[in-house]
Structure 1
Amino acid sequence: MAVLGVLHVGLTVRDLDRSVDWYCQVLGLKEVHRQTGDNAYTRTLVGVTGAALRVAQLAMPGQGPVWPSSHTVELIEYTREPGGRVAPQPNDVGASHLAFVVDDIDDACKSVVSSGGVLRNPPALVTAGVNRGSRACYLHDPDGHTLELMEYGPERTAALREATP
Structure 2
Amino acid sequence: MISIDRVDHLVLTVADVDRAVEFYTQVLGMEPMTFPGERRAVRFGGKTIKLHAASELVEPTATHPVPGSANLCFVTNNPLSDVQEVLRNNEVRIEEGPVVRTGSLGPITSLYVRDPDGNLIEIAKYDDEVAVPAK
Query: Is the TM-score greater than 0.5?
Result: yes
Aligned counterparts of 1:129 and 1:78: Cα–Cα separation in 2? 30
> Among 87, 93, 98, which residue is 1:112 paired with?
87
Q: 1:140 is matched by which residue type in structure 2?
A: R
1:16 alignment counterpart: 17
Please give the residue correspondences for 1:58-137 in structure 2 after superposition, counting only pairs within 5 Å: 58-60=42-44, 63=46, 71-80=47-56, 96-102=70-76, 103-126=78-101, 131-132=106-107, 134-137=108-111
Question: Is residue 40 of structure 2 the alignment partner of residue 56 of structure 1?
Answer: yes
Q: Which runs of 4+ in 1 moved over 3 A?
A: 1-5, 78-81, 83-87, 125-130
Give the CA RMSD over aligned residues. Answer: 3.4
| TM-score normalised by L of structure 1 | 0.60
Asked if 2 retains the 8 angstrom alpha-carbon contact of 1:106 and 1:123, the reply is no
- Cα distance 1:7–1:164, how it changes in 2: closer, same or farther (>3 A)? closer
Q: Percent identity?
A: 24
Q: Which of the pair is proportionally richer in helix? A: 1
Q: How many residues align?
A: 127
Aligned counterparts of 1:84 and 1:151: Cα–Cα separation in 2? 29
Asked if 2 retains the 8 angstrom alpha-carbon contact of 1:10 and 1:74, the reply is yes
Question: Is residue 125 of structure 2 the alignment partner of residue 151 of structure 1?
Answer: yes
Q: 1:117 is matched by which residue type in structure 2?
A: V
Q: 5+ residue gaps in structure 1?
A: 37-53, 64-70, 88-94
Q: Which of the pair is proportionally richer in strand? A: 2
1:50 alignment counterpart: none
Provide Cα deviations, 1:118-144, integer angstroms capped at 9, x if missing partner.
Answer: 322021134899533x31122211210
Aligned counterparts of 1:16 and 1:60: Cα–Cα separation in 2? 17
Q: Secondary structure at the match of 1:72?
A: strand
Aligned counterparts of 1:125 and 1:34: Cα–Cα separation in 2? 37
Aligned counterparts of 2:113 and 2:83: Cα–Cα separation in 1? 11
- Higher relative contact order (CA closer than 8 Å, sequence separation 6+): 2
Following superposition, the deviation at residue 28 of structure 1 comes to 0.9
Provide Cα deviations, 1:91-137, integer angstroms capped at 9, x if missing partner.
Answer: xxxx64111111122222332344353322021134899533x3112
Larger Rg belongs to? 1
1:25 alignment counterpart: 26
Following superposition, the deviation at residue 6 of structure 1 comes to 2.4
